Amino acid sequence: MTEIGSKPWVASAALMLAAAIVVLNFAAAAFGAETHWLAAVNLVANLTVLGAMVVAIVRAGLRAETQANQARAAVDESQARFAAVMDSAMDAIITVDEQQRIVLFNQAAEATFRCRRNDVLGSGLDRLLPARFRAAHGTHIERFGTTGVTNRRMGDATTLWALRADGEEFPIEASISQVIESGQHLYTVILRDITRRKEYEDALARQQAELREISARVLEAREDEKTLLARELHDELGQQLSAMKMDLAWLRERLPREAAELAAKAAQLDAGLDRTVAAVRRISADLRPLMLDDLGLQDATAWLITEFSNHSGVECRLDAPADAALENIDRAVGITVYRVLQESLTNIARHAQAKNAWVILGASGNWLQLEIEDDGQGIADADLARPRSLGLKGIRERVLYLGGSVEIGRAPRGGTRVLVRVPKLPTQAPTA
């Protein structure tokens, strides 16, 4: 039939032949009794047409069977190609239906879960999940099916876990996609065993924690040394300088009036002693402000800001709460906040080219917050990433060790903004 429809001359010939047969049949019916040869010709023609029809039907059937076989072969080839592609993938690929039954399981999945494909096809996905995650996983899949999203990554914030056939749990990273086929949802998960990577990450995290612990111990030792040195400068050297100043004053009172040159020299010595006393106090305060121990964080912060403004020419304003809000602060936290402020003010004086600076010290619940901002030229991203930005790295290490957070970036006024949040009672347990 297809050949007749595709060739007009064949169709015309068939119609003419059919018309001739019809005419012949009418003639045979009308004159066949009188003319025997006409009846014979009609019979032969009818048998010929019948045979041609039988041949055409047989040929059509054979052609249809051939086409069906070709279609089946094409489908089989397509399925084989699809299976080959699935099995060539390095990641495990699993497809389940709406009832969470496994309908596709590639070779990588066999290797990952240590089970044969024929053993898991048609079974529930729960066999591949640790028991504690099964109920939640089913709920997540159902919710994903209603979102209309075609694909997404699974477990963005947490580590996912799967279960091998031998009962071993292992970490994975996975993505899920969905399609609708014949009115039914099919969910495909592509997953990767990240056991080795997780081991490396855990080892790296342990090493970083150990390095942070060592760094904290070094900082604590430095603080203890600075405290000891500051007290020795303040107590020992300060007392000796005070005694020398008193002796010099006693000597100046007893100088003869006519010894003008000696009196001038004594005045120079007295001025030099004053400068030395001031230098000792400044060095002692830089090493460790004793008022941080004696009076607390707020007074030490106010003193540091005043000294910074006097020496740098940058007008700095402090916004701090009442003293009661800064009570019960761990000693290590107080030192850290003071050192962060000290380092930030030093950076402003050296690099910012600022005219104004603002310091906000606040407390909320168990958290202490310090914010330093200036209106200078600001810090560039490249400066934040410089390997030798030891001051900034020191700030981060101090705060992170105590369980806090640090944000360093552009300020609304165009300069640099440093925001530090740290618990009053640190999550670590540094020694004093």
For the domain that residue 161 is a member of, what is the CATH number?
Answer: 3.30.450.20
Number of compact structural domains in the chain = 4
The answer to whether residues 385 and 298 belong to one domain is yes
What is the sign of the dihedral through the CA atoms of 326, 327, 328 and 334?
positive
The answer to whether residues 65 and 167 belong to one domain is no
The answer to whether residues 429 and 304 belong to one domain is yes
What is the sign of the dihedral through the CA atoms of 64, 66, 69 and 75?
negative
Q: pLDDT > 70: what percent of the chain?
A: 80
The answer to whether residues 174 and 187 belong to one domain is yes
pLDDT, mean of residues 405-420: 88
3-state SS assignment for residue 255:
coil
CA distance 211 to 378: 31
The answer to whether residues 320 and 430 belong to one domain is yes
Structure tokens at 151: 């694909």
* pLDDT tens digit sequence for 191-213: 999 999 999 999 998 988 888 78
CA distance 49 to 14: 11
The answer to whether residues 25 and 79 belong to one domain is yes
Residue 255: CA count within 13 A, CB half-sphere: 17
pLDDT confidence bin for 431, thresholds 50/70/90: very low
Domain extent, residue 204, equals 198-288
CA distance 62 to 60: 5
Domain end point (choices 64, 85, 106): 85
Task: Give the residue from 355, 368, 370 showing the smallest Cα distance to 407.
Answer: 370
Q: What is the pLDDT of residue 46?
A: 64
The answer to whether residues 307 and 417 belong to one domain is yes
3-class SS letters over 279-312: HHHHHHHHHCCHHHHHCCHHHHHHHHHHHHHHHH
Average pLDDT over all residues of the chain: 80
Q: pLDDT > 90: what percent of the chain?
A: 22
Q: Give the number of other Cβ atoms within 10 Å of residue 29's Cβ.
A: 12
pLDDT confidence bin for 430, thresholds 50/70/90: very low
Lowest mean pLDDT across 27-36, 91-100, 346-355, 394-403 = 27-36
CA distance 226 to 184: 72
Task: Give the residue from 426, 424, 423 showing the smallest Cα distance to 329.
Answer: 424
Lowest mean pLDDT across 23-32, 348-357, 419-428 = 23-32
Q: What residue type is assigned to position 164 of the chain? A: R
Please check whether residue 332 is in contact with residue 432, taking contact to mean a CB–CB distance below 8 angstroms.
yes
Domain end point (choices 85, 106, 125): 85
Q: What is the pLDDT of residue 30?
A: 60
The answer to whether residues 203 and 179 belong to one domain is no
The answer to whether residues 108 and 188 belong to one domain is yes
CA distance 344 to 373: 9
pLDDT, mean of residues 101-118: 92
What is the sign of the dihedral through the CA atoms of 46, 51, 56 and 61?
positive
Task: Give the residue from 359, 334, 335 showing the smallest Cα distance to 345.
Answer: 359
Residue 199: CA count within 13 A, CB half-sphere: 4
Q: What is the pLDDT of residue 427?
A: 59
Q: Tell whether pTM > 0.75.
A: no
pLDDT confidence bin for 161, thresholds 50/70/90: very high
Residue 302 above 80 pLDDT? Answer: yes
296: left (phi over 0), alpha (psi -120 to 50) or beta: left
Residue 432 above 50 pLDDT? Answer: no
pLDDT, mean of residues 265-293: 82
Domain end point (choices 85, 114, 135): 85
Residue 385 above 70 pLDDT? Answer: no
* pLDDT tens digit sequence for 245-266: 888 888 888 888 788 888 888 8
Q: What is the pLDDT of residue 14?
A: 62
Structure tokens at 89: 């993938």
231 against 323, higher pLDDT: 231
3-state SS assignment for residue 241:
helix
Q: What is the pLDDT of residue 169?
A: 94
The answer to whether residues 386 and 400 belong to one domain is yes
Q: What is the pLDDT of residue 24?
A: 58
412 against 84, higher pLDDT: 412
Cβ-count burial of 129 within 10 angstroms (0-12 exposed, 13-18 middle, 19+ buried)?
Answer: buried
The answer to whether residues 205 and 145 belong to one domain is no
The answer to whether residues 68 and 134 belong to one domain is no
